[in-house]
């Protein structure tokens, strides 16, 4: 009797598993069949608003509330490096992008189309960056010694972030804010450690790693060091930026030119 009952349970579980697999396959097939539009069919104001809600609940943690970029790339520029057509965006959002941190968003195509509509709206009506502003911004970048800490296309220092594709990652608004108030967003990689060693010599650099017994840091000459904490005195970690603010050292037009140059820095080649 017990064996017969167990057989019935196993049989029921087997049917449930087969049904689940079949249902999943059917849903996937339905989604694949529905992705046949050449252009987004859902672009009304109501669709954009609905897409904004989905985006801000599922995508903003990486891409920012308004697509300005963060952990994920800037989506407000209207430039996409894994395909820029509406079907490309639908596929990338639905399935994710292999080899990146971008996961798939398992929703019906209609709901994903609304997210596409919202992303498209982020770039609507934005002014085009002038080539003359980019050129003047490049001169400012060099004249203000930015290259001393930042690399662009393999040239420059390594103390600050590599800016070779910063225009893809960050929005114009984010770049402007970073130039005016560098302390507003300082990542842990750029916290500054300072102390006096066992010989009384003052040391300072960017904190790379820290545990209970040792620290590793890069000094201002880009040399890597490791030190035992037991012999350190006046040990402090500053969570502020070494980068100066350009709020008072640049005119408003110069600031916009420098922002234009930084926004122009994007990977060469690839779909846009």
Q: Is residue 8 part of a domain?
A: no
Residues 138 and 217 in one domain: no
Would you state the pLDDT for residue 171? 76
Asked if 72 and 194 sit in the same domain, the reply is: no
Average pLDDT of 56-80?
A: 81
Q: Which residues contact 156 (CB under 8 A, 6 or more apart)?
A: 146, 147, 148, 149, 150
Same domain, 47 and 101: yes
pTM flag (> 0.75):
no
* Residue after which a domain boundary falls, among 71, 89, 123: 123
Full residue range of the structural domain in which residue 197 is found:
188-238
CA distance linking residue 35 with residue 159, whole number of Å:
46
Q: Establish if 198 belongs to a structural domain.
A: yes
The answer, yes or no, to whether residue 118 has pLDDT greater than 80, is yes
Same structural domain, 203 and 87: no
Q: Looking at the structure, do residues 250 and 137 belong to the same domain, yes or no?
A: yes
Give residue 4's pLDDT band: very low, low, confident or very high (50, 70, 90): low
What digits encode the pLDDT tens for the residues 40-65? 898 898 989 999 999 998 898 888 88
Mean pLDDT on 159-188: 88
- pLDDT of res. 148: 92
**CATH assignment of the domain containing 100:** 1.10.760.10
Domain end point (choices 106, 123, 140):
123
Structure tokens belonging to residue 109: 């195509």
pLDDT above 90: residue 79: no
State the total domains in the chain.
Answer: 3
In a domain, 160, yes or no: yes
In percent, the amount of the chain with pLDDT more than 90 equals 43
193 and 180 within one domain: no
Q: Are 55 and 75 in contact (CB under 8 A)?
A: no
């Amino acid at each position: 009797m017990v064996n017969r009952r167990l057989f019935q349970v196993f049989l029921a579980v087997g049917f449930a598993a087969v049904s689940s697999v079949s249902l999943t396959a059917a849903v996937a097939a339905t989604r694949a069949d529905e992705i046949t539009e050449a252009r987004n069919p859902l672009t009304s104001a109501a669709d954009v608003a609905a897409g904004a809600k989905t985006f801000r609940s599922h995508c903003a943690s990486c891409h920012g509330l308004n697509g300005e970029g963060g952990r994920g790339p800037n989506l407000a520029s209207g430039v996409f490096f894994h395909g820029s057509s509406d079907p490309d965006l639908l596929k990338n959002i639905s399935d994710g992008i292999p080899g990146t941190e971008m996961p798939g968003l398992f929703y019906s195509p209609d709901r994903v189309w609304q997210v596409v509509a919202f992303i498209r709206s982020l770039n609507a009506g934005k002014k085009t960056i002038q080539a003359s502003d980019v050129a003047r911004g490049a001169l400012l970048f060099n004249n203000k010694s930015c290259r001393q800490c930042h690399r662009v296309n393999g040239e420059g220092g390594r103390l600050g972030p590599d800016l070779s594709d910063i225009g893809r990652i960050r929005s114009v608004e984010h770049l402007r804010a970073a130039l005016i108030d560098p302390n507003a967003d300082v990542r842990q990689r750029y916290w500054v450690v300072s102390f006096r060693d066992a010989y009384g010599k003052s040391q300072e650099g960017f904190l790379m790693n820290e545990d209970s017994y040792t620290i590793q840091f890069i000094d201002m000459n880009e040399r890597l060091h490791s030190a035992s904490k037991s012999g350190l005195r006046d040990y402090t970690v500053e969570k502020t930026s070494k980068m100066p603010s350009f709020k008072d050292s640049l005119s408003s037009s110069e600031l916009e030119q420098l922002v234009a140059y930084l926004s122009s820095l994007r990977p060469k080649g690839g779909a846009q």
